[in-house]
């Protein structure tokens, strides 16, 4: 953070102790224990500083100074910057938060954001909810600082899979920011883009597409084509195209965003890796499995180094790679990796998180291909129930799981039970998705197998005719 704006912050008592801050930072910088990076505008702190301040700074002021130094290193950073810096700050934040120090709400807000980007969602939720409550009580619901806290809590809800709560709070933030800041203010646009992402995860893809288009048009006009926030909306729009089955449009956007991010951010930045992973998933849907694998292996290697083995970004890549291995008929590799990812998700995110459920679905399909369909059925029955409870009967994730369970029941020769799942799944997918969406084709193929074994030859002929009309 630039030194000329440090005066806006205060310690936990509400009074900024600038003398303490300058005394401590000057001395520890002289010993190379803390460094200010002029380009990144960040402080990096040596772990020994914690012990050093205990013996050097009198009257317990080292607590306030350490809180201030750590908070300064995070305050005012963009999402992109926090993604890189936040995880590196966690040892310091854990020390401060775990020490039950009297930390002011502004710094708790910064610490909560760091936990969020490091994938420690429960810690992030606890801190950010407390900040939101404090700001509501002291500043009111319409204050900009309160709206900022609401925005981040909505994002926490989204990452925790609490999509209804995320939508409700997101709508409120968008409305209030429009009223206070105007429709085209960067904060309003950011909240609108995040709301579109929630709608995407709720399966309301056309609503999400409409919101994203509006944000993208304004950001391109105000910020330019290459701005990180413009690129983020482009990436989100590509994901919507992918889910709608408009794969050529998704690939074109994915490639455009990846090229710009590589040029501006470099090949190893988290957002560059995210773009590579998104493009790999599009390749999966296009049936270009070798290209998908090459990208995913590269992303996984860099993510482990940059973010760690248990970061959400790393785990998403591992999960997608298990699906790719399965498509490449490398089933033992798919199973081994799938088990590891599922154990990590269950431990980190819990049994009911959507990423956990998606991993269960991928592992179940690997079991099907290995001829272990009873194990697949057990996983998919659990995943279907939890998806239904979390997202409802009509969400694309629920319908995809329902179709996969129908496929599994075919493997187990339970034809009538398979039909009872596949027929309503196909009807709902047809209403929600584009006609050539891969999920629709998969369900139609599954149902054709069911009808064949039930002797319903006319229905089989109708399905085959419909499949031939679908553009691949």
Q: Looking at the DSSP assignment, which residues form a beta bridge with residue 44? A: 35
**Joined tokens for residue 390:** 């979390």
Rounded to an integer, what distance in angstroms lies between the CA atom of residue 54 and that of residue 63? 8
pLDDT reported for residue 306 = 85
Rounded to an integer, what distance in angstroms lies between the CA atom of residue 199 and that of residue 154? 12
Of the listed ranges 120-134, 246-260, 404-418, the one predicted with least confidence: 120-134
Rounded to an integer, what distance in angstroms lies between the CA atom of residue 280 and that of residue 260? 17
The per-residue pLDDT of the chain, averaged, comes to 83
384 touches 398 (CB < 8 A): yes
406 touches 425 (CB < 8 A): yes
Crossing angle of helices 415-432 and 396-411, in 10° steps, is 150
Residue spans per domain, the chain: 1-118, 308-386, 392-472
433 touches 439 (CB < 8 A): yes
pLDDT reported for residue 37 = 53
Crossing angle of helices 396-411 and 354-369, in 10° steps, is 20
> How far is residue 339 from each of residues 318, 353, 397, 472, measured CA to CA in Å?
11, 16, 20, 32
pLDDT of 444 > 50? The answer is yes
Rounded to an integer, what distance in angstroms lies between the CA atom of residue 47 and that of residue 34? 9
Q: What is the pLDDT of residues 13-30, one digit of tens each?
A: 444 445 555 565 566 566
Q: What is the mean pLDDT of residues 169-197?
A: 94
User: What pTM was estimated for this model as a whole?
Assistant: 0.74
Residue 349: strand, helix, or coil: coil
pLDDT of 114 > 80? The answer is no
pLDDT reported for residue 124 = 85
Cα–chain-centroid distance for residue 31?
A: 39
Rounded to an integer, what distance in angstroms lies between the CA atom of residue 131 and that of residue 67? 16
Q: What is the mean pLDDT of residues 261-281?
A: 93
108 touches 83 (CB < 8 A): no
Phi/psi region, residue 137 (left: phi>0; alpha: psi -120 to 50; beta: rest), is alpha
Write down the architecture of domain 308-386 according to CATH.
Answer: Alpha Horseshoe (1.25)
Same fold, 308-386 and 392-472: yes
pLDDT of 120 > 90? The answer is no
Pick the CATH number of 392-472 from 3.20.20.70, 3.40.50.300, 1.25.40.10, 1.10.510.10: 1.25.40.10
428 touches 388 (CB < 8 A): no
Radius of gyration for the alpha carbons in the chain, expressed in angstroms and rounded: 25
296 touches 310 (CB < 8 A): no
Share above pLDDT 90 across residues of the chain, in percent, rounded to a whole number: 56
Q: DSSP assignment of 220-274, as one string?
A: HHHT-TTSHHHHHHHHHHHHHHHHHT-HHHHHHHHHHHHHHHHHHH-TTSHHHHH
């Amino acid at each position: 953070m630039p030194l000329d704006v440090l005066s806006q912050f205060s310690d936990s008592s509400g009074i900024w102790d600038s003398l303490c801050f300058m005394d401590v930072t000057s001395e520890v910088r002289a010993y190379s224990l803390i460094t200010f990076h002029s380009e990144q505008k960040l402080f990096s702190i040596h772990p020994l500083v914690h012990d050093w301040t205990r013996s050097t700074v009198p009257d317990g002021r080292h607590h306030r100074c350490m809180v201030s130094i750590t908070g300064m290193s995070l305050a005012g950073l963009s999402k992109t910057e926090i993604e890189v810096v936040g995880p590196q700050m966690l040892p310091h934040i854990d020390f401060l938060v775990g020490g039950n120090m009297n930390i002011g709400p502004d710094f708790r807000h910064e610490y909560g954001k760091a936990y969020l980007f490091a994938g420690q969602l429960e810690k992030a939720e606890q801190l950010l909810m407390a900040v939101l409550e404090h700001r509501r009580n002291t500043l009111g619901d319409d204050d900009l600082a309160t709206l900022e806290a609401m925005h981040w809590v909505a994002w926490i809800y989204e990452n925790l899979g609490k999509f209804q709560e995320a939508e409700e709070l997101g709508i409120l933030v968008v409305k209030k920011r429009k009223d206070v800041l105007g429709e085209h203010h960067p904060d309003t646009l950011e909240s609108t883009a995040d709301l579109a992402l929630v709608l995407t995860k709720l399966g309301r893809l056309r609503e999400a597409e409409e919101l994203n288009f509006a944000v993208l048009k304004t950001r391109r006009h105000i910020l330019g084509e290459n701005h990180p926030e413009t690129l983020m909306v482009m990436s989100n729009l590509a994901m919507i195209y992918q889910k709608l089955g408009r794969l050529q449009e998704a690939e074109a956007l994915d490639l455009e965003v990846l090229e710009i991010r590589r040029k501006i951010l470099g090949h190893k930045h988290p957002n560059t890796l995210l773009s590579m992973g998104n493009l790999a998933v599009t390749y999966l849907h296009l049936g270009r499995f070798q290209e998908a694998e090459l990208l995913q292996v590269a992303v996984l290697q860099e993510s482990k180094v940059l973010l760690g083995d248990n970061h959400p970004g790393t785990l998403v890549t591992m999960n997608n790679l298990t699906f790719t291995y399965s498509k490449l008929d490398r089933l033992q590799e798919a199973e081994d990796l799938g088990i590891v990812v599922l154990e990590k998700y269950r431990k980190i995110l819990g049994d009911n998180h959507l990423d956990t459920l998606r991993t269960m679905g991928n592992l179940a399909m690997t079991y099907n291909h290995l001829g272990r369909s009873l194990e697949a059925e057990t996983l998919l029955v659990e995943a279907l129930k939890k998806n239904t409870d979390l997202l409802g009967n009509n969400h694309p994730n629920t319908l995809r799981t329902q179709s996969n369970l129908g496929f599994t029941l075919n493997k187990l020769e339970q034809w009538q039970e398979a039909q009872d799942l596949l027929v309503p799944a196909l009807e709902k997918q047809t209403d929600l998705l584009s006609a050539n969406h891969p999920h629709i084709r998969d369900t139609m193929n599954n149902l054709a197998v069911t009808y064949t074994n039930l002797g319903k030859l006319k229905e089989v002929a109708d399905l085959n005719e419909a499949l031939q009309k679908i553009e691949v």
